[in-house]
Structure 1
Amino acid sequence: MNTTNTQNLEKTSVAQNISRYILGLFLTTAGISHLTWSRTEFLAQVPPWIPVNADLVVLISGVVEIVLGLSLILLFKYRIQVGWIVAAFFVLVFPGNVAQLVEHRNAFGLNTELSRWLRLPLQPLLILVALWSTGAWHSWRKNKN
């Protein structure tokens, strides 16, 4: 494969590419829902201690999710960088999931302590999918040695 100054464009498997496309579609759809039909639901995930208007946070995070989702799908050449950025985004929004649990906020059908607890492990899973499907984790491990 060709090497650029920014990354080694190694091949990714069919499973990785399919997972990257699915994650991209998931993020794009979630972003659109931030701006439209699920806007109120996403407000329940904005921790009250965030010093910015909650609706603005929902709108900005929706736009970011759309950009990240489309980037996963369209920017194959930069997929490793996009993978790290998507993983970082998932880390940054995790406090919203914790706040929903701790503050007993109901949204997206998560209206019991158990359902809110069970949702928390999904965020690390999304981080792993972002890093694996883009080849970011493999690239980091390879360059580390």
Structure 2
Amino acid sequence: MHSSPFQKIMRILLGLLMVLAGIGHLTFQREEFQAQVPRWLPTDQAFMDFVVLASGIVEISLGLAMIFIVKYRIKVGMALAIFFVLIFPGNISQYTNGIDAFGLDTDQKRLIRLFFQPILIFLALWSTGAWRFLMKKIK
């Protein structure tokens, strides 16, 4: 399956954003990302830090895979979409618990943020050709 030039650009941009987010997890945004650890998980500081660091490593890995592992881009896109689904409870937790982070300092801003996750899931699938692959499998 071939990708359009726009899909390739979006795949690389999404990969770069994932790498940047992953670096943020490990460094300058570490505390901000701890705000997104769901509150139904242990709230021990060491555990929350582990979750942030581990997810940062996963984000960097998936981001680099989006950019460089073109041969398996469909599988990488599916893996990234699954990752976005898995981290969505953190966004819900931030909203339901009214936690300020990343400039999301009102319930309205936190609610609006929730609607971006499906867009990220779609972009991961569409930009890698996984969306077309899955739609063909469904038929």
Q: CA RMSD in A?
A: 1.0
Q: Give the letter aligned to residue 12 of structure 2.
A: Y
Q: Which residue of 2 aligns with 1:31?
A: 22
Q: Provide the rounded CA distance (Å) in 2 between the counterparts of 1:31 and 1:92.
A: 15
Counterpart residue number, 1:12: 3
Q: Secondary structure at the match of 2:60?
A: helix
Q: CA deviation at 1:15?
A: 0.7
Deviation per residue, 1:18-62 (Å, 9 max, x gap): 000000000000000000000000000001222481110000000
TM-score normalised according to structure 1 size: 0.91
For residues 120 and 134 of structure 2, what CA distance do their matches in structure 1 show? 18
Determine the structure 1 residue equivalent to 2:68. 74
Normalized per residue, the structure richer in helix is: 2
User: Paired residue for 1:64?
Assistant: 58
State the aligned residue count. Answer: 136
- Matched residue of 2:37: which SS? coil
Aligned twin of 2:31: 40
Partner Cα distance (1:56, 1:137) in 2: 32
Structure 1 residues 67-109: Cα deviation after superposition (integer angstroms, max 9, x where no partner): 0000000000000000000000000000000000000000000
Q: Percent identity?
A: 53
- The separation in 1 between residues aligned to 2:136 and 2:103, in whole angstroms, is 41
Aligned partner of 1:139 in structure 2 is 133
Partner of 1:106: 100
- 3-state SS in 2 of match to 1:23: helix
Structure 2 stretches lacking a partner, 5+ long: none
What secondary structure, in the 3-state scheme, does the structure 1 residue paired with 2:99 have? coil
